[in-house]
């Protein structure tokens, strides 16, 4: 595999004021949303560091997942409700959306708890995919098909968007179950993975903490953070 070492066109720019709706990507990549939040940048830097122990790595993974889900769900529908406060009546809002979390095993498991704190009623669908180390293509080994996929907003959870093969296969699987609204949430993406997922599933928005430079010759993101599963589970 040829290795491109040019600077990623998606590299995060520094901004003095956080704007969650800001998007400086090329028009053809308008459905890709690297977070601009200072807290995300801070926690991602700690997550990358080789000296970060597994217990802290897992904690940071959960915190980053929660922050990214907050951004990814900004357009969920709500209904108005009447609320009685100690001081009188108020008009409030209640969420009008059923959510499902679909972690790609095994690394995606570490993203569930952080998002579940925001959406405790969300269903969890597990998708077992592993990457063939020779072809870098995904191999399916476990699924638990839901019966109400069409009724839910699905958050596809996979920390690393490297080649994009697993994420694309997971999106195809979710759509075969009837899912109509899918949002990808990950920690770090490579331009190659972004391109693959956008090409195969242009309707799926991509929410990540950062987009890095390139893939190396064995399909790892550079500079990345290494193997997210190994670093979470000390393997």
* Cβ neighbours of 127 (radius 10 Å): 23
CB 229 within 8 A of CB 57: no
Spell 35-62 as b/e; 16+ CB within 10 A means b. Answer: bbbeebeebbeebbeeebeeeebbbbbb
pLDDT at 12: 42
Domain residue ranges in the chain: 31-77+91-233
CA distances from 117 to 41, 106, 112 (A): 21, 20, 9
Name residue 139's beta-bridge partners: 130
pLDDT at 18: 37
pLDDT at 4: 44
CB 209 within 8 A of CB 188: yes
Average pLDDT by consecutive 10-residue portion of the chain (235 residues)?
44 40 50 96 96 95 97 95 96 95 92 95 89 73 86 96 93 94 97 95 97 93 93 88
For every residue of 148-174, DSSP letters joined together read: -GGGEEEEEE-SEESSSHHHHHHHHHH
Task: Return the active site residues.
Answer: 131, 135, 227, 230
Strands 88-95 and 78-85, sheet pairing: antiparallel
pLDDT at 136: 65
pLDDT at 29: 61
> What's the rounded Cα separation, in Å, for the pair 67 and 41?
11
Which CATH architecture fits 31-77+91-233? 3-Layer(aba) Sandwich (3.40)
> What's the rounded Cα separation, in Å, for the pair 11 and 194?
13
Name residue 157's beta-bridge partners: 103, 185
CB 92 within 8 A of CB 80: yes
Q: Is 93 helix (H, G, I), strand (E, B) or coil?
A: strand
């Amino acid at each position: 595999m040829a290795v491109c070492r040019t600077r990623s066109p998606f590299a995060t720019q520094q901004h003095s004021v956080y704007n969650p709706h800001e998007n400086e990507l090329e028009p053809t990549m308008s459905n890709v949303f690297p977070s601009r939040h200072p807290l995300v940048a801070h926690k991602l830097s700690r997550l990358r560091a080789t000296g970060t122990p597994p217990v802290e790595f897992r904690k940071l993974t959960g915190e980053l997942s929660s922050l990214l889900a907050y951004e990814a769900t900004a357009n969920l529908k709500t209904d108005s409700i009447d609320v009685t406060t100690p001081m009188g009546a108020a008009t409030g809002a209640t969420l009008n959306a059923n959510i499902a979390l679909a972690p790609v095993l095994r690394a995606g498991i570490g993203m569930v708890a952080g998002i579940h704190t925001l959406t405790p009623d969300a269903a969890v669908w597990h998708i077992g995919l592993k990457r063939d180390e020779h072809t870098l293509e995904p191999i399916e080994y476990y699924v638990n098909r839901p019966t109400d996929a069409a009724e839910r907003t699905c958050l596809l959870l996979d920390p690393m968007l490297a080649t994009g093969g697993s994420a694309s296969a997971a999106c195809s699987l979710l759509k075969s179950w009837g899912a109509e609204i899918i949002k990808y949430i990950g920690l770090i993406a490579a331009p190659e993975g972004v391109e693959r997922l956008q090409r195969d599933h242009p309707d799926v928005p991509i929410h990540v903490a950062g987009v890095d430079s390139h893939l190396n010759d064995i399909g790892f993101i550079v500079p990345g953070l290494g193997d997210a599963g190994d670093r979470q589970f000390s393997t």
